[in-house]
């Protein structure tokens, strides 16, 4: 039986939330992007997603590039190795609104370039987009005994 996950409400008095955390906030970064409006914008999204460990999401109508990469100063105990000299964005981040017990779902989530093509075809129509879809591979030969 696996141990029960700590919740914010069950945190013992005087304890730091970070002592029980998997450091989600140190394992990715998300950059806000302009809402795509032209095929060229969606083609950029395809390009982003052709890179390893990149995804994209939409939350409250805001579009983001999400890069799944661990901070090089994250220690094995999930603590910051440069805590006293950490960047300002880390200093401003608070456990009051951190992702400790948050299982976020997004309005839209893209993991592959093909999903972008499907989204464009479904929402904007397929005109001028078919030339960007990856061709289907040839069928495998039929083996007969």
C-alpha separations of 81 from 58, 71, 76, 99 in Å:
31, 10, 10, 20
Specify the residue for token string 């799944």: 68
Environment class of 30 (CB within 10 Å of its CB; exposed 0-12, middle 13-18, buried 19+): middle
pTM for this predicted structure: 0.76
What's the pLDDT score for residue 20?
A: 82
**Any domain includes 40:** yes
Range of the domain at 68: 17-131
**Any domain includes 6:** no
Give the chain's residues under pLDDT 50.
1-3
**Any domain includes 38:** yes
What's the pLDDT score for residue 13?
A: 84
C-alpha separations of 58 from 4, 43, 100, 109 in Å:
31, 17, 21, 7
Provide the domain count of the chain.
Answer: 1
């Amino acid at each position: 039986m696996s141990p029960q996950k700590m919740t914010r409400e069950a945190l013992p008095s005087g304890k730091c939330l970070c002592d029980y955390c998997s450091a989600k906030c140190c394992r990715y970064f998300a950059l806000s992007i302009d809402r795509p409006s032209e095929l060229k914008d969606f083609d950029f999204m395809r390009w982003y997603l052709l890179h390893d460990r990149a995804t994209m999401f939409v939350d409250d109508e805001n579009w983001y590039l999400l890069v799944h990469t661990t901070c090089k100063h994250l220690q094995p105990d999930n603590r910051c190795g440069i805590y006293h000299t950490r960047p300002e964005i880390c200093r401003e981040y608070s456990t009051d609104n951190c992702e400790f017990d948050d299982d976020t779902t997004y309005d839209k989530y893209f993991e592959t370039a093909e999903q972008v093509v499907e989204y464009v075809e479904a929402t904007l129509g397929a005109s001028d987009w078919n030339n960007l879809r990856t061709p289907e591979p040839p069928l495998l030969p039929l083996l007969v005994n």
